[in-house]
Chain A
């Protein structure tokens, strides 16, 4: 028997989905709302939801106190830079493993993934010391390198699954049809591989943008990206909820907008290969 959804169940599931969706979205909404409150209203108990004096003073103050634009630039450099370098390594690596696998390909892939199972704090000390000795602490170059290394396994895995889906027959057909290597890549491979590369890039940019462990531990002022910018508002002077929220809102806005416009691509990328 095929599974059918009775109208009653359909309504129930719809409600459940909305509730779950709102639950996940609520912290973001609350952050944005709080950013428009005064510090007093931000800690008021009971909190007011929508009916308070809307103010932009947090934004102006945050802007005065720190250089938002510089943090944005740092974030862009780190996330886009690490993605670009990662692609240069991951595309050939995944390519080789997908199209000319050897006996050890699976093992290498598992080993790469296993590096993600190690808690980052486990390698904190050696990396910190190496960076100190090389003069990479609090530099964009250093952080870009760390981000590349941290996300490389995921990039290779994602690209590998993508490339695996490109049937070898099609490449051979192109060869039979008279395509030279360059034409084979340009007309046949690239169009089929580009969606996979694009979603890998997107995911990697988002992961690098949001990464907080390494960015907080390896930067001070010069190379601090937006995550460090947010953290600077949970300062020793005490918590300023409204300003912290304003900083958070400003920090997540760019990536949220990017995510919003690319959500179709992103979902396709994450579920690719799940269903044949």
Chain B
């Protein structure tokens, strides 16, 4: 069981309010990702759950029990740090065995569990090495090994992949997702990378300036963002925002259209513009189009499109894929309602 509930949680550092009156329920076995720009309070929130920071106000419950004032070790959670935080003077084996030793397990049980974790994480050949003799990916796996041997109620990951190179990051992403499938344990994962959030999460919590902007499955956030912030943060390339007259015509303050929901035509469409930069990725082409009176619009087309700088093009939003936002930035009409 790994149900975690936060009620009216606040955290202030001095006079600065980092987390404001936050409520969140994390179900057993869920993979929850906290995502947001740097400084939004996502790491602080994770540390509050871990017990590494004390809440200023509010209540944290794990499986129904109030843990607000409990020491980190007694909350039954494991954490994987961005810097790996391995014990440099200990071998891989001792690193993984450390939490078990602290829990007072006998040697036979420790050996068995370490061997099992090493097998799962492909670390069996490295057990006698010191952390400095390992690559970044291997170190991260040791950190994960140290977390799983305790069989915690939930895993906490604090930007675990940001120190790895791009290719390795994709691999580790898959490995962590795989691990979640195998263990079925609740995982809370902090990242600023919306692609990690989209690919791994069962549930995404989008944070901004210490406030939850929206909670939902990746597809919910993608299809029906609650406000401008979430609409701009989720999805790559970023959603196009159009304001002014064009927006007023449909009774909104801002219109949002994702680049992949733009149709292109050489001779007919809603907006006419001039191609600025065309980015050819092979699988997709990103066109940055300058439209008079609107500004720059990004459009994404599958495959290769042979358009050059300065060429004229018409863009139209796909029917039903336009998001309308009101004065306060909140959604007034979900996609599909307006065409």
Give the interface of A toward B (CB within 8 A): 167, 169-170, 172-180, 183, 187-188, 191-192
Residues of chain B contacted by A178 (CB below 8 angstroms):
73, 99, 102-103, 150
Contact in complex: B87, A170 (CB < 8 Å): yes
Verify A173–B102 contact, CB threshold 8 A. no
B294 CB to nearest A CB, Å? 47
> Min CB distance, A127 to chain B, in Å?
42
Total A-B contacts with CB atoms under 8 angstroms apart: 57
Pairs A-B, 8 closest by C-beta atoms: A178-B102, A169-B85, A177-B99, A173-B85, A178-B73, A191-B89, A176-B79, A169-B81
Give the most central of A169, A178, A179, A192: most B CB within 10 Å. Answer: A178
B207 at the interface (CB under 8 A from A): no
Q: Which residues of A contact B3 (CB under 8 A)?
A: none
26 contacts between A and B (CB under 8 A): A167-B85, A169-B85, A170-B86, A170-B87, A170-B88, A173-B79, A173-B81, A174-B87, A175-B52, A175-B73, A176-B73, A176-B79, A177-B73, A177-B98, A177-B102, A177-B146, A177-B150, A178-B102, A178-B103, A178-B150, A179-B102, A183-B102, A187-B87, A187-B98, A192-B88, A192-B89
Q: Is B78 an interface residue (CB 8 A)?
A: yes
In the complex, the answer to whether A176 meets B83 with C-beta atoms within 8 Å is no
| Distance in angstroms between the alpha carbons of A178 and B73 in the assembled complex | 4
The winner among B78, B81, B150 for most chain A CB atoms within 10 A is: B81
Chain B residues touching A, majority SS: loop
1/0 contact string of B65-92 vs chain A (CB within 8 Å): 0000001110001110111011111000
Cα of A80 to Cα of B103 in the assembled complex, Å: 40
Chain B contacts of A188 at CB under 8 A?
A: 87
List, in ascending order, chain B residues with CB within 8 A of A172's CB: 52, 72, 79, 81, 85
Question: Smallest Cβ distance from B96 to chain A, in angstroms?
Answer: 10
A191→B85 CA distance, assembly (Å): 15
B83's nearest neighbour on chain A, judged by CB, is A169
Which residues of chain A are within 8 angstroms of B83 by Cβ–Cβ distance?
167, 169
Contact assessment for B72 and A176 in the assembled complex, using a CB-CB cutoff below 8 Å: yes
Whether the Cβ atoms of A170 and B85 lie closer than 8 Å is yes
Which of B52, B78, B85: most chain A CB closer than 10 A?
B85
Q: Quick check: is B9 within 8 A (CB to CB) of the other chain?
A: no
Considering the chains assembled together, what is the distance between the CA atoms of A175 and B72 in angstroms?
Answer: 6
Output the least CB separation between B188 and chain A (Å): 13
With both beta carbons as reference points, the residue of chain A lying nearest to B98 in the complex is identified as A177
**A175 — which chain B residues lie within 8 A by C-beta?**
52, 71-73
Q: Which of A176, A179, A192 has the most CB of B within 10 A?
A: A176
Q: Considering only CB atoms, which chain B residue lies closest to A190 in the complex?
A: B89
Find the B residue at minimum CB distance from A188.
Answer: B87
- B89–A179 CB distance below 8 A: no
Set of chain B residues within 8 Å of A179, measured between Cβ atoms: 73, 98, 102
CB distance from A180 to the nearest CB of B (A): 8
Interface 1/0 per residue, B141-165 and A, CB below 8 Å: 0000010001000000000000000
Q: Beyond the given A169-B85, A179-B73, A187-B87, please list 12 additional residue pairs across the A-B interface where CB-CB is below 8 A.
A: A169-B81, A169-B83, A172-B85, A173-B87, A173-B146, A177-B73, A177-B99, A177-B150, A178-B103, A180-B73, A180-B102, A192-B89
Task: For A167, list chain B residues within 8 Å (CB).
Answer: 83, 85
Interface-central residue, B77, B79, B103, by most chain A CB under 10 Å:
B79
> Which residues in A have their C-beta under 8 angstroms from that of B206?
none
B123 at the interface (CB under 8 A from A): no
Docked complex Cα distance between A178 and B81 (Å): 16
Chain A residues with Cβ under 8 A from B50's Cβ? 176
What residues of chain B lie closer than 8 Å to A173, measured between beta carbons?
Answer: 79, 81, 85-87, 146
Please, how many angstroms separate the alpha-carbon atoms of A265 and B183 in the complex? Answer: 46
Smallest CB–CB gap between B154 and chain A, Å? 12
Query: Are B77 and A176 in touch, CB under 8 angstroms?
Result: yes
Report the Cα distance A178→B98, complex, angstroms: 9
Shortest distance between the CB of A241 and any CB in chain B (Å): 51
Report A-chain residues with C-beta under 8 Å of the C-beta of B99.
177-178
Q: Which residues of A contact B85 (CB under 8 A)?
A: 167, 169-170, 172-173
Write the nearest CB–CB distance from A52 to chain B, whole angstroms: 53
- Chain B nearest CB from A245 CB (Å) reads 45
How many Å from the CB of B229 to the closest CB on chain A? 30
Complex contacts, B78 vs chain A, CB 8 Å? 176
